[in-house]
A and B are shown apart, each in its own frame.
Chain A
C-alpha cells in the first residue's frame, strides 16, 4: 500500500541493522594497544625464528658438498614456482611488522619517562633484555648487507676458471654456474667468506642475533601467555639452547671456509 513516503512502514519502526563482529575494534586492539602489539611482535618473531632455523639448515648443506647445496638452491628458486614469491612477500611482511611495531612501542615507552633518574639502578634485568631494540637494529642492518652481499651480489664477485680457456676470470656471484648449469651457490659462499672483513662482520652479527634471541625466544612464551613459574626454567633453557644452536650453526659455515674445511672446487694456482 502506498503511503506518503512511498514504502510500507513497520508499525514497530525500522529494524536496527544487525551488528556483526567489530573488525576495526579487533584490529585496533591488536595493533594499537601495548599488549596486543607486543603479542604481534612475539608472533612475527616466532615466524622469523622459524625462517632463521630453516635458512640455517638449508645453508648447512654446504658441508654435503657443492652438488647438495646447488641442488637445494635450484629447488628453492625453480621447483616451488610462485610459492617462492608468496614466501618472500610473507617474510617481508612479518619482518616489517616486527620492526615497525617494536619501534613504535619503543618510542611510546621513551615518552613514558620524560625525566631520567639521576642515579639509575637495576636488580635483575639482563643485558639482552635491555638492548633488544639495539640488537634488533643491528640485525636489520646486517640483513640489508646480507641481501646486498648474496641476493643482489652488489658487494663483490669471485675469481673462477673460465670453462673454455681455463684462465681465472672475475665474475659476479649471480653469473657463477656449476657443471650442471645451476647457479653455483657453493662457490659463491666460499668466495664470500674468504674476505676477512666480511667474515668478522658476519660473526659479530651472529653474536648480536644470539643476544637478541637469548631474550626474545623465552620472552615470546611470556608475551603470548604460555608461561608460568613451573615452566620458567625449561623455557629459559630452550631459549638459550635454540639461540646457541643458531649461533653455532651459522658461524660454522663462515669458520669452516676460513679454516679451509670447505674449499673452492677449482684448483687455485
Chain B
C-alpha cells in the first residue's frame, strides 16, 4: 500500500507545531496502525530525521496508552477499536491520512502525538477510589451484589482512560470518562459509602482541569474503544443532582 501521511509535528510543549506530509510506501494491509507508524519512523531515522513520538504500550487494546486522532476520528474509523488494534486494511491504497494528537486544553501536547493526560489521574485522585480496610482478604461472595448491578458496573469498569471521549467531544468534555468511574464505583456496595462525595469532588476537579461541558452530542460514545454508553452520563447527572440536593439537607 502507498499512503500519504499528514502528521502533527511539535518539538516540545512550547513549539507551535505544524502538519508535515510524508509519503510512505510498502505498507502491508495486515499491519496495525502503530506498525505502520514504526515503518514511517524507520524511514525517518534512515533519513537522519527525528522520528514521530507517539504513546503506545500493550499493543493489544487494553492499556489505553495509544492516542491518535486519525482523519478527525479518535482511534480511527473502526468502532470499538484502539489505534493499536486498528489495521491498515481499514484504509485504501493511496489514502491521505491525517494523524493528530488529542486536542484539549487539559491535555497539553508534550511532543508530536504524545499528550499529557495526568488531568485524568488528578480526577481519579479527587475521589475516584474506594476506601477499604486493611487486613485479611474478605471471603468470596460475603457481599452479595445483584447480577444487573454487577453487569452495569462491569460495563463502566471497561474504561481504559485513553481520553478518546475528550478528543472526540466538540467541547473537549471528559464527561464519559468521569461518568464511567462514577457509575462503576458508585453502584457497587464497596464504593457506595463515598458515592455522594465522589461525584461532586470528581466533577469539581473535572471543571478545574479545564474540560468543557456535556451537550449530549454522543460523539464520545462512538469514539470510545470500549463502547462505554452515554447511559452512564445520565447516571452521573442523576448522582450529581441527588448529591447536591442532599448536601443542602445534611
Q: Which residues of A contact B (CB under 8 A)?
A: 20-23, 25-26, 29-30, 32-39, 105, 108-126, 129-130, 132, 215, 218-219, 221-229
Question: What is the CB-to-nearest-CB distance from B3 to chain A, in angstroms, rounded to a whole number?
Answer: 15
- Is the Cβ of A225 less than 8 Å from the Cβ of B241? yes
B120 in contact (CB, < 8 A): no
- Is the Cβ of B214 less than 8 Å from the Cβ of A115? no
**Chain A residue with Cβ nearest B8:** A118
- Is the Cβ of A29 less than 8 Å from the Cβ of B172? no
12 A-B pairs whose Cβ atoms sit less than 8 Å apart in the complex: A25-B247, A29-B244, A34-B206, A105-B212, A113-B104, A117-B69, A117-B72, A118-B6, A123-B168, A215-B216, A225-B235, A228-B234
* Bound CA–CA A108/B211 (angstroms): 8
B100 in contact (CB, < 8 A): yes
* Bound CA–CA A122/B72 (angstroms): 7
B2 in contact (CB, < 8 A): no
B134 in contact (CB, < 8 A): no
Residues in B neighbouring A118, C-beta threshold 8 A:
6, 8, 19, 98, 100
- Is the Cβ of A112 less than 8 Å from the Cβ of B69? no
- Is the Cβ of B72 less than 8 Å from the Cβ of A120? yes
Residues in A neighbouring B168, C-beta threshold 8 A:
123
Q: Which residues of B contact A (CB under 8 A)?
A: 6, 8, 19, 69, 71-73, 98, 100, 103-106, 168, 170-173, 175, 200, 203-204, 206-207, 210-219, 221-223, 229-231, 233-241, 244, 247-250
Given A35-B237, A111-B105, A226-B234: A132 touches B247 (CB 8 Å cut-off):
no
Given A121-B71, A123-B222: A112 touches B211 (CB 8 Å cut-off):
yes
Question: What is the CB-to-nearest-CB distance from B95 to chain A, in angstroms, rounded to a whole number?
Answer: 12
Residues in A neighbouring B247, C-beta threshold 8 A:
21-22, 25-26, 29
- Is the Cβ of A38 less than 8 Å from the Cβ of B210? no
* Bound CA–CA A33/B178 (angstroms): 14
- Is the Cβ of A225 less than 8 Å from the Cβ of B248? no
Given A112-B171, A226-B234: A34 touches B103 (CB 8 Å cut-off):
no
- Is the Cβ of B250 less than 8 Å from the Cβ of A21? yes
Question: What is the CB-to-nearest-CB distance from A267 to chain B, in angstroms, rounded to a whole number?
Answer: 53
B203 contact from A34, A119, A219, A228, Cβ within 8 A: A34
Residues in A neighbouring B216, C-beta threshold 8 A:
129, 215, 218-219, 222-223
Given A20-B250, A33-B204, A34-B206: A225 touches B103 (CB 8 Å cut-off):
no
- Is the Cβ of B219 less than 8 Å from the Cβ of A122? yes
- Is the Cβ of B103 less than 8 Å from the Cβ of A115? yes
**Chain A residue with Cβ nearest B240:** A35
Residues in B neighbouring A130, C-beta threshold 8 A:
170, 217
Residues in A neighbouring B207, C-beta threshold 8 A:
32-34
- Is the Cβ of A34 less than 8 Å from the Cβ of B173? yes
- Is the Cβ of A222 less than 8 Å from the Cβ of B234? yes
- Is the Cβ of A225 less than 8 Å from the Cβ of B213? no
Q: Which 6 A-B pairs have the closest CB atoms?
A: A121-B72, A225-B238, A109-B212, A109-B171, A119-B98, A112-B212
* Bound CA–CA A248/B13 (angstroms): 54
Residues in B neighbouring A227, C-beta threshold 8 A:
231, 234
